[in-house]
Structure 1
């Protein structure tokens, strides 16, 4: 009888975990769905975005991509020999 009760408990636990995971998945989907529905005015975006920091990040990414492009060219040239 103990193994039957243990089996029921295991199924119950597995069912609870499955149900919880489904609820989390649904919550993630709802969050994604509703976040895409929100529109921001130009004033709101200007207030939220740190333009100076954004420009710094863009400059860093440009520098990184330029460096990466140079490394790729150097790699291509070294494999051609």
Structure 2
């Protein structure tokens, strides 16, 4: 789950750097999406990721984060092909 959290944190940082204010992020990790949205508890090492995520997002204008199925995540599929295990 580290990779999913790090990707989300990087994407939020990039959006901020570009000056984007209304952004919708999509991800195929139910746990990360729910934890980032505050609908699930965060445990273990993911707490540090959640704290970093909260530190870089604005409470006044939080990003929207939606879950999609893995089969719909074309970017994830492409990355998986580039970095086959």
For the superposition of Structure 1 and Structure 2, which TM-score range results when normalised by the shorter chain? under 0.3
TM-score (norm 2): 0.21
Instruction: Report the structure, 1 or 2, having the larger helix content.
Output: 1
TM-score (norm 1): 0.23
Q: Which has the higher contact order (CA 8 A, sep 6+)?
A: 2
Who wins on radius of gyration, i.e. which is larger?
Answer: 1
